[in-house]
Amino acid sequence: MEKLYKEFKSSLKNIALEEIVDLFFFRPISFFCVKGIYRLPVTPNQVSVISMMMGILSGIFFAFGDRKSFVTAGICYAAAHILDCCDGMIARLKNSGSPLGRIIDGWTDYVTSVAAYIGLLLGLYNGSFILPVSSPWFLMIPASFSLALHAMLVDYYRREFMTHGLGNAPTIQEDFLYFSNLLEQMNKSGGKYLTRVMIAFYLGYTKIQMKKNTIKKVYSRDHYNKTNRVLLVAWNLIGLSTHIFVLILAAFLYNPMIYFYYILGFANIWMVVMAVIQVKAQKAIPAKPG
């Protein structure tokens, strides 16, 4: 049992980077799935593709709008995220992770979220829901913007913590330079069109984050870690996995308003509170230009 627990721990990211729902729900299930396929010739990227397909399937079932279809959509969405956790766990256990794999994993999240949201929008029209607004669009549009903003902020502060608090990730500027050079080389050699599109999309996403941090700074690792560890755990309450968990719960209960109360109410209020706290905490950490 102790050996199994150590294996599970080695498959995780740093605990501060993990969301509570991942740590206690999604990743334990994913770990036992990984144990079943670990020795098979399956790559993390192949698992990502299967995860993406399950995410698209969840969107199709959401679109029908009836109770049975919503429950099925919730199961498919849960399976998609469990598999999404599996790819990273396999990469860490096999030590086969790569920067490109990280981009593919990000695209899996993006495609799955878009599919689920489109399906949910259609399901709100097709189902027999009593909504507080005249059109589902008045819920889905602000929810979409909120989800994107929450994911971007949480991803940004996770990345900053990995860079300055753990020292195991390149800075945003270094990452941007690496993938810019890689894309330039791939454009010259031709081929791999889809990969080039994914890298270009990631560069655009990174450029948005770079606007928040235009100056490379050097922090005391211990000081940064101590200051930001608890804050990152708090940020994770509006992370993508938590959004997914709440939507799955809402699907099982056939009550999509549970999700909208979370994302448009709690999560947005929490984001504002955390942003104020984060800015104050960041200013208190001694830093110098890198």
| 188 domain-assigned | no
| 240 domain-assigned | yes
pLDDT digits (tens, 9 = 90+) for 15-57: 888 899 999 999 999 988 888 877 777 777 788 889 999 999 9
* Beta strand residue intervals within 135-248, DSSP E: 217-219
What is the value of pTM for the model shown? 0.86
pLDDT at 287: 64
Q: How far is CA 133 from the centre of its chain?
A: 29
| 129 domain-assigned | yes
Q: How many domains does the chain have?
A: 1
pLDDT at 44: 79
**What does the H/E/C string look like for 128-155?**
CCCCCCCCCHHHHHHHHHHHHHHHHHHH
**CATH no. for residue 272?**
1.20.120.1760
Mean pLDDT lowest among 155-159, 256-260, 283-287: 283-287
pLDDT tier, 168 (very low <50, low <70, confident <90, very high otherwise): confident
pLDDT at 25: 93
| 28 domain-assigned | yes
pLDDT digits (tens, 9 = 90+) for 173-216: 777 787 788 778 888 787 677 777 777 877 777 777 666 555 56
Mean pLDDT across the chain: 86
Q: What are phi and psi of 131, to 5 degrees?
A: -105, 150
pLDDT at 288: 60
Question: What is the extent of the structural domain holding 105?
Answer: 2-171+216-289
What is the distance between the alpha carbons of residues 36 and 63, in angstroms, rounded to a whole number? 32
pLDDT digits (tens, 9 = 90+) for 208-267: 766 655 556 677 788 888 889 999 999 999 999 999 999 999 999 999 999 999 999 999
